[in-house]
Amino acid sequence: MKKDEIRSEEDVINFLSNKTGFEKAVLVATFNIPKGKISTYKEIAKKIGRPRAHRAVGNALHKNPLAPIVPCHRVVRSDGRFGGEKKGAESRRNLLEKEGIPIEDGSVRISKEILV
């Protein structure tokens, strides 16, 4: 299967056959974040049943082989800041701004309306 043929959770799972169960769960949960919404590393960890694994969620997203199909740019820190390297954080901020996510002082202004 090619990246541009991925349309569903099942496609994501099949493409990620070489990843661990944890990595697959993180990437599938991230795949389901709709445009114009965001989540946090902590929320993804809760969603996959590993509430204390927020740092591991960040590591799994750092190795995302399906960006932007799996929109890891929609996952931010609980305080709204962008994790990772400065250059990558700037790129993710720009993508979120294009999607209409409110950014203030370089961080996402997290609200109930955009958090999933």
Condensed to tens digits (0 to 9), the pLDDT of residues 16-73 reads 999 999 999 999 999 999 999 999 999 999 999 999 999 999 999 999 999 999 999 9
Active-site annotation holder among 12, 69, 72, 108: 72
Q: Is 15 assigned a catalytic role?
A: no
* Structure tokens that stand for 115 in this block: 């958090």
What 3-state DSSP class applies to 91?
A: helix
Q: What is the pTM of this model?
A: 0.94
Closest CA to 96 of 19, 51, 39: 39
Closest CA to 35 of 76, 92, 74, 8: 74
SS3 content of the chain, % helix, strand, coil (to 5): 45, 10, 45
Domains of the chain: 3-108 (1.10.10.10)
* Backbone dihedral angles phi then psi of residue 106, each to the nearest 5 degrees: 80, 5
Residue-averaged pLDDT of the chain: 95
DSSP 2-38: -GGG--SHHHHHHHTTTS-HHHHHHHHHHHTPPTT-B
Dist. CA 1–CA 76, nearest whole Å: 29
